[in-house]
Amino acid sequence: MTQKQARLAIAVKGWPRLSETFIAQELLALERAGLDFEIWSLRHPTDHKTHPLHDQLGADVYYLPEYLHQEPLRVMRGLGWALFQPDFGKVFGQFLRDWRRDKTRNRVRRFGQACVMAREMPAGIEAIYAHFLHTPSSVARYAAVLRGMPWAFSAHAKDIWTSPDWELREKLSNLTAGAAFGATCTAFGAEHLNELAQSTPVDLVYHGLDLKRFPLPAERDLRAGDAPFHMMSVGRLVEKKGFDRLISALALLPRHFDWHWTHIGGGALDRQMRAHADVLGVNDRITWRGACDQPEVIEAMRGADLFVLPSRVAADGDRDGLPNVLMEAASQLLPILSTPVSAIPEFIDDGVHGVLSDDAPEALAGHMVRLAEDPAQGRAMAQAALDRLQSEFQMQPGIDHLAQRLRSIMGKADAP
């Protein structure tokens, strides 16, 4: 059987990543929609597990030099090749303008990776699509100019809110080698990017869920019998997820309240969070499961009574978009307690599909107790969230739109 030649290159920051199931879900769906592509990853994997989605993808994966000094010959070949391309002066000039405003090694690394990518991509590639508007899009943009082809992006959260406006504006303008189009997964993000855009349209494309991959929700009572009220969270241990305030809230729960909390995920603040729980004397009621694959996450959701995600805006401006784990919780009829940050209210109306709380520990603790004491309210909100998920947040409409957009820019590479 002859393998189809890829026509699209997809740039990602790292592949595979357990915390980015939304990317794996999208790429698998695009592949099944008939798009032929290969993946170019800026970093090697660090997770020890993969999701079933990763294993099902048939696309070839290539790894760029994570640090330029690690593969000097490969980098020199890329730079040598780039020097003789018709648009080298244009892309190098753009790199110098970027570097003058951001004099970092990371900026130099992006240019070196782009030269390697542009040289090594096969001749059949007609366009580049980048996941995340910061580093991957910088590499895609430089490489696209060197190869004389269009590029596009999908933006999410951190890349929107921690990138400087000058960089976003230039990636959204055809006068500065900007993208042919962009997509983002929240109306909140789409409005912000379209206000900055010079000429690039940015579409709202919700990730949604492919509900065929999830089991039907279990028929069960919340907090059955004399069991502890079992709360759980899924998310990286980083500032924007708000788990420090959640742990503080757990320490405020009444002594007579029997509870347990399970956390799934890794992250840079792992030690600090465990130490925080130790100081507050609640670690004996916490299970730290670390990184888990999606089937393990769903299994945990099916045995829990409340899903808690107290997202907040971090000091550097980073914040969540619309976390897929909220939709995954809804798929299993698990009541949700979260915060009205960023695009979370686009899925959850407070008091209808879940509870959106202030992230103050006192407020979170109060809602935990009230939801434990009124399981009927939790069940009603969980059913409303599942209904909304099924009617408004399924994956396929977004995939159809994105596939059409990507096909529209393929075949538009400049003639050699």
Q: How far apart are CA 119 and CA 405, in angstroms?
A: 25
User: Going edge to edge, which strands form the sheet with 336-338?
Assistant: 286-290, 259-264, 229-234, 306-309, 336-338, 355-356
The predicted-structure confidence for 240-257, as pLDDT tens digits, reads as follows 999 999 999 999 999 999
Number of neighbouring beta carbons within 10 Å of residue 63 = 15
Q: How far apart are CA 176 and CA 155, in angstroms?
A: 18
Q: What is the pTM of this model?
A: 0.91
Q: What residue ranges in 122-223 does DSSP mark as E strands?
A: 127-131, 151-155, 181-184, 202-204
The phi-psi region of residue 222 (left if phi > 0; otherwise alpha if psi is between -120 and 50; otherwise beta) is beta
Q: Which residues of the chain have pLDDT under 50?
A: 1-2, 415-416
332 token code pair: 């299993």
Q: Which residues contact 45 (CB under 8 A, 6 or more apart)?
A: 14, 15, 16, 17
Distances (CA, A) of 209 to 182, 307, 374, 389: 20, 17, 29, 8
Q: Reduced to 3 states, what is the DSSP secondary structure of residue 50?
A: coil
Q: How far apart are CA 302 and CA 332, in angstroms?
A: 6
Q: How far apart are CA 32 and CA 10, in angstroms?
A: 15
Q: Which domains does the chain have, with CATH numbers?
A: 8-207+395-409 (3.40.50.2000), 211-392 (3.40.50.2000)
Q: Are 292 and 49 in contact (CB under 8 A)?
A: yes
pLDDT at residue 5 in the model? 65
